[in-house]
Every structure is written in structure tokens, then in C-alpha cells.
């Protein structure tokens, strides 16, 4: 199990520095192309606005800023075709705020002021705040073009350079300046910050309750490794929500690495519990260790590839969500495989350890549904949720599913006298010597004796006594194992 914790730690450490992308952007574009996609933003119907500053060397011929919108897939029809730069520009009109010609004395669009600065060596274009009005939230795609790039005048220091060279600064807003919940958020991201703040409070309360339970379990020597893994999952999920709140407040857009780490920890927890680890036995067989290692390694590699492909090769002009990629589809398949593995292991444990029916019945039902909902939610969002709602719907689904899964385990493991589902009967100092095979052999003996008239709890946790059967604190609870222990 330590091996998987090391994997999770390395995974989280690597992606804590994963870059965030805000809705205020600035930089220098240098490209040998005559048409370059810059960014996209989903403007709200009545409150969206755009403001920008552009600078480029005067010897360059006129450069343009183009704005395409997603009406009837117009953007994709332009983006995927082999139209020339001039043909792409011809589809846009300045009066619709789609074509800004960045040139001295430009009068095409009121509110755009272009003038030479730095002793005439640089052209600077500053805009007013342009508003966008539409019937529903719409994506707008911003492109820089220079269709006359092949006729450009060489400039000292970059002789023979042909293409685009421009310094840009843009503010894309969906609210008034100073409104931290709306100003710099794309319409598809609105409410994500509020969701994360609410679930941060809920997760914090859940972690405090889990910590109090951990103290009680430790006093009774029942603080097993699976419960410690549950605390790790809670902590990673809480940190992911906190980092998401911080980065969104700083115009960021993701803290998904920590959230993925929390999901992996929860997956490892349910797989170990499904095999009976720390509940019926303290040591797993080689095949079970190999199964968990393979699944966790594949899931970790899948999440890593998901972020790596998004950062390196995902086309920002066409991809609205990181799951809409080959690694995302592969990860959905891996999660289904993990669900099948858990259902098979937990079902086998439920059938062989009758004394643990009250724990494994709810565990199997809750976590099978949880593991099915993870890929199902991703598939539904990718297939049926509109692009301008996908990010916030997916974020809400992920937060709800993880909170429900973690709350369910806390309720199952709550050490109250009236909780028949409590899984831990043996102390941490006792269970370490019980192998998976020993536990199954003792459970088989208990089933045989239980057939006389009642179930036998071979771990001393209770059992039926009907029809002349033995009680749960019967002699069998003290019988030695086959090897004499």
C-alpha cells in the first residue's frame, strides 16, 4: 500500500505546479503563420465585454484582430477548412465587431484608437469596452491575422522574418469590474467558484468529523490503514477544493490534479475494502496486490496523460473540456474496469463472509453506483451538455459524487453501538497476522457451523443463535489458525 501512496504523492507534487489560465491574457505573439488562433471566451447574453491593447512595430503592414462566433458551427467550418487568410477575413464584418484593423487612423470601428508611439517606431491600438449582446451565452474566438505577411518590410534584428509579431493585452469580462464571482469568468465557468466554496465548507466539516472518529478508533486500537487512506482521500479532496477556490479568485481555471489525487485515493480505498483488507484480513495474496497495482498504475497514468496531452497538444480552439480527448476516453474505460474489479471482489467477500453482510451490502451498492457515475457523468457531459454549460455542470457533478462517496464511508465506519455496519472488529495489533487465505478458511468453517442453525461471526463480533446455533462469542472465536497461531 505504501507504493501506491508514493505514487499519489509524486502525482500530486508534479501537477501542483500545473499552469492556470485566466481570462485576463497578455503576451507577445510571434509566428511564421499569417493566421493564428489566440484564445476563446464564452460571453454572457447581456453583460459580456471585451477590451484590449495591441502593439506592433510600425514597419509591419497592417495586422488584424478577428473575432469569430459559434453560431451554427461557423467557427469550426472556418477552423477546419483550407481557406486562405483573405478568404477567412472576408467572412467577417467590422460593424458586427468581428474585424478590427489595427492601423493608423482606423475609422472602421468607433472606440478603437490606433496611434504611433516611441518616436514613430511602434503602433499602439487601445480599445474602449465593447459589449456583446445575444439570446444565449455564446463562444467567441479571437484570432490575429496578417494576410500581407509575405510582402512585409524586413526589420532590424529580425531580417527576413515573415509572419505575425504583436504584443497583446486583453480583458474579457462577464460582469462589472470588481465582481469576483463574475468579472473574469467565462459563461461556462460561472457558479464554479460558488460550488467550490460551498463544498469546501462541507468537506471541512466532514474531515473534522472523520478526525474525531479517528481519535476514537485509535483509542480502541481500531485505526486501520484503510481508515487512514480514507483520511488521505478527504485531505486531498479538501485541498483540491481550496486550491480551486484560490486559483479561481486569481483568475485561474483548474486545481484538478489534487482532485484527481483524492479520487485515486478513494479508488484505492474501495478496492482494498472490497478484498477485505483490514476488515477480514491483514495481508492480501499476490494476485490481489498485482490487481490493485495494475489498476492504480493505469489510472495514475491515465490522469497524467490527460493533463499532459491537454497541455501539449490539445487544440484550444476546438477542445472545451479536457475529457474530450483520447486520454479522457481511455480513462473512462479504466474507471469502468475498476468498477468491475471492485464489484467482483466485494461480491466475493460478501458471499464468503456472512458475518460482514451488514457492511459489505451497503458498501457494494454505494460504491458500485459511485464508480459507475464517474465515467457516466463524464460521458453525459461530453455528449449532451452544451459547451457553454459543460465546465460548471462537470464541476458540480464531480464535487457532489466525491462528497457523497466520502460521507457514505464515514457513516459506515462510525463507531457507534447502534451502527450494525461498523466494519472493524479486530484490533490493529491482531489483524496483521491474518492472511487472506486464513480469513476465507475461518469463514468457511463458520458457514458450515452456521448451517446448523445460525451464522457464526468468526471474529467475535456477534452472530445468530437461533435453532441451537452458537453465539458470536462462541468457542470458534478463540480457536487457533491452521498454522498454530
pLDDT tens string 409-444: 999 999 887 788 889 888 888 887 888 888 888 877
Strand-strand pairing, 99-102 and 63-69? antiparallel
> Residue 461, SS3?
coil
Print the domain residue range for 266: 192-430
φ, ψ for residue 294 (rounded to 5)? -65, -45
Shared-domain flag, residues 274 and 236: yes
For residue 17, count CB atoms less than 10 angstroms from its CB and return exposed for 0-12, middle for 13-18, buried for 19 or more.
exposed
308: left (phi over 0), alpha (psi -120 to 50) or beta: alpha
**Predicted pLDDT at 323:** 67
Shared-domain flag, residues 369 and 233: yes
Nearest to 188 by CA among 398, 386, 400, 397: 386
88 - beta bridge partners? none
Q: What's the pLDDT band for 213 if we cut at 50, 70, 90?
A: very high
In Å, the largest CA–CA distance within the chain is 104
Q: Is residue 476 part of a domain?
A: no
More confidently predicted of 172 and 319: 172
Contact 47, 182 (CB under 8 A): yes
Contact 274, 342 (CB under 8 A): yes
- Across 395-444, where does the E strand assignment appear? none
**Predicted pLDDT at 362:** 92
Shared-domain flag, residues 262 and 396: yes
CB atoms within 10 A of CB 422: 17
Residue 215 has pLDDT above 90, yes or no: yes
Q: Is residue 179 part of a domain?
A: no
Instruction: Report the percentage of the chain scoring pLDDT > 70.
Output: 75
**Predicted pLDDT at 21:** 40
Q: What's the pLDDT band for 343 if we cut at 50, 70, 90?
A: very high
Q: Based on DSSP, count helices (H) and strands (E) in the chain, helices before strands.
A: 12, 10
- Out of 147-161, 190-204, 240-254, 314-328, which region has the weakest mean confidence (pLDDT)? 147-161
DSSP string for 271-324: HHHHTTBTTTBSB--HHHHHHHHHHHHHHHHHHHHHHHHHHHT--TTT-SSTTS
Number of domains making up the chain: 2
**Predicted pLDDT at 408:** 92
Residue 257 has pLDDT above 70, yes or no: no
Q: Return the top range by mean pLDDT from 55-69, 89-103, 149-163, 361-375.
A: 361-375
Nearest to 50 by CA among 162, 119, 152, 132: 132
Taking the C-alpha atoms of residue 96 and residue 274, their distance in angstroms, rounded to an integer, is 60
Q: Is residue 475 part of a domain?
A: no
Residue 459 has pLDDT above 90, yes or no: no
**Predicted pLDDT at 319:** 62
Taking the C-alpha atoms of residue 290 and residue 320, their distance in angstroms, rounded to an integer, is 36
Shared-domain flag, residues 268 and 308: yes
Shared-domain flag, residues 263 and 326: yes
Task: Among 415, 430, 445, give the residue marking a domain's end.
Answer: 430
Q: Is residue 484 part of a domain?
A: no
Q: What's the pLDDT band for 363 if we cut at 50, 70, 90?
A: very high
Residue 371 has pLDDT above 50, yes or no: yes
**Predicted pLDDT at 248:** 67
φ, ψ for residue 195 (rounded to 5)? -55, -45
Q: Is residue 74 part of a domain?
A: yes
Between helix 256-274 and helix 387-412 the angle, nearest 10°, is 40
> Positive or negative CA dihedral for 456, 229, 428, 415?
negative
Q: What's the pLDDT band for 346 if we cut at 50, 70, 90?
A: very high
Question: Mean pLDDT across the stretch 474-484?
Answer: 41
Q: Is residue 455 part of a domain?
A: no
Shared-domain flag, residues 47 and 133: yes
**Predicted pLDDT at 204:** 92
Taking the C-alpha atoms of residue 44 and residue 47, their distance in angstroms, rounded to an integer, is 6
Q: What's the pLDDT band for 9 if we cut at 50, 70, 90?
A: very low
Residue 211 has pLDDT above 70, yes or no: yes
Contact 268, 229 (CB under 8 A): yes
CATH number at residue 298: 1.20.1070
Q: Is residue 208 part of a domain?
A: yes
Q: What's the pLDDT band for 189 if we cut at 50, 70, 90?
A: confident
For the whole model, what pTM was predicted?
0.64
**Predicted pLDDT at 207:** 92
Taking the C-alpha atoms of residue 142 and residue 135, their distance in angstroms, rounded to an integer, is 20
The pLDDT tens digits of the residues spanning 113-122 come to 888 888 878 8
Shared-domain flag, residues 230 and 307: yes
Task: Among 129, 146, 173, give the residue marking a domain's end.
Answer: 173
Shared-domain flag, residues 38 and 107: yes
Shared-domain flag, residues 127 and 208: no
Q: Is residue 183 part of a domain?
A: no
Shared-domain flag, residues 137 and 284: no
- Out of 240-244, 322-326, 337-341, 458-462, which region has the weakest mean confidence (pLDDT)? 458-462
The pLDDT tens digits of the residues spanning 309-321 come to 666 655 666 666 5
| Mean pLDDT of the chain, nearest integer | 76
List Cβ neighbours of 453 (8 Å cut-off, separation of 6 or more): 464, 466, 467, 468, 469
Question: Mean pLDDT across the stretch 223-244?
Answer: 86
Give the chain's end-to-end CA distance (angstroms, integer). 25
Shared-domain flag, residues 89 and 196: no
Task: Among 396, 414, 430, give the residue marking a domain's end.
Answer: 430
Which one-letter DSSP state was computed for residue 175?
S
**Predicted pLDDT at 316:** 63
Shared-domain flag, residues 342 and 264: yes
Amino acid at each position: 500500500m505504501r507504493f501506491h501512496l508514493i505514487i499519489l504523492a509524486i502525482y500530486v507534487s508534479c501537477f501542483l505546479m500545473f499552469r492556470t489560465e485566466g481570462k485576463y491574457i497578455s503576451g507577445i505573439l510571434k509566428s511564421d503563420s499569417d493566421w493564428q488562433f489566440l484564445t476563446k471566451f464564452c460571453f454572457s447574453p447581456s453583460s459580456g465585454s471585451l477590451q484590449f491593447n495591441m502593439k506592433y512595430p510600425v514597419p509591419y503592414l497592417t495586422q488584424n484582430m478577428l473575432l469569430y462566433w459559434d453560431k451554427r458551427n461557423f467557427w469550426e467550418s472556418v477552423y477546419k477548412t483550407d481557406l486562405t487568410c483573405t478568404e477567412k477575413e472576408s467572412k467577417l464584418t467590422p460593424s458586427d465587431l468581428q474585424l478590427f484593423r489595427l492601423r493608423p487612423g482606423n475609422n472602421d470601428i468607433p472606440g478603437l484608437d490606433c496611434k504611433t508611439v516611441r518616436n514613430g517606431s511602434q503602433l499602439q491600438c487601445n480599445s474602449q469596452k465593447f459589449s456583446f449582446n445575444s439570446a444565449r451565452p455564446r463562444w467567441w474566438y479571437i484570432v490575429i491575422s496578417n494576410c500581407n505577411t509575405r510582402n512585409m518590410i524586413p526589420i532590424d534584428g529580425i531580417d527576413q522574418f515573415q509572419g505575425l509579431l504583436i504584443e497583446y493585452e486583453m480583458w474579457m469580462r462577464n460582469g462589472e469590474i470588481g465582481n469576483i464571482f463574475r468579472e473574469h469568468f467565462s459563461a461556462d465557468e460561472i457558479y464554479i467558484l460558488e460550488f467550490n466554496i460551498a463544498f469546501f465548507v462541507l468537506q471541512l466539516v466532514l474531515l473534522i468529523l472523520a478526525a474525531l472518529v479517528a481519535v476514537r478508533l485509535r483509542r480502541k486500537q481500531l485505526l486501520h490503514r484503510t481508515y487512514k487512506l480514507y483520511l488521505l482521500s478527504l485531505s486531498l479532496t479538501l485541498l483540491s477544493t481550496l486550491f480551486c477556490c484560490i486559483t479561481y479568485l486569481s483568475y485561474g481555471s483548474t486545481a484538478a490534479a489534487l482532485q484527481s489525487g483524492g479520487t485515486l485515493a478513494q479508488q484505492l480505498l474501495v478496492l482494498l475494502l472490497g478484498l477485505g483488507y483490514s476488515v477480514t484480513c491483514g495481508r492480501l495474496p499476490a494476485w490481489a496486490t498485482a490487481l490493485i497495482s495494475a489498476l492504480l498504475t493505469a489510472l495514475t497514468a491515465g490522469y497524467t496523460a490527460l493533463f499532459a496531452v491537454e497541455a501539449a497538444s490539445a487544440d484550444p480552439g476546438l477542445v472545451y473540456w479536457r475529457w474530450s480527448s483520447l486520454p479522457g476516453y481511455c480513462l473512462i474505460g479504466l474507471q469502468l474496469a475498476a468498477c468491475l474489479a471492485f464489484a467482483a471482489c466485494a461480491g466475493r467477500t460478501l458471499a464468503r463472509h456472512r458475518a460482514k453482510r451488514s457492511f459489505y451490502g451497503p458498501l457494494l451498492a454505494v460504491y458500485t453506483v459511485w464508480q459507475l457515475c464517474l465515467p457516466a457523468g463524464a460521458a453525459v457531459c461530453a455528449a449532451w451538455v452544451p459547451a457553454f454549460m459543460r465546465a460548471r455542470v462537470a464541476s458540480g457533478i464531480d464535487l457532489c459524487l466525491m462528497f457523497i462517496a466520502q460521507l457514505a464511508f464515514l457513516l459506515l465506519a462510525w463507531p457507534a453501538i447502534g451502527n450494525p455496519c461498523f466494519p472493524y472488529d479486530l484490533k490493529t495489533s491482531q489483524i496483521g497476522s491474518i492472511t487472506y487465505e486464513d480469513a476465507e478458511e475461518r469463514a468457511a468453517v463458520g458457514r458450515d457451523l452456521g448451517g446448523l442453525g445460525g451464522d457464526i461471526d468468526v471474529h467475535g463480533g456477534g452472530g445468530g443463535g437461533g435453532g441451537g446455533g452458537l453465539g458470536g462469542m462462541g468457542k470458534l472465536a478463540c480457536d487457533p489458525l491452521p498454522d498454530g497461531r
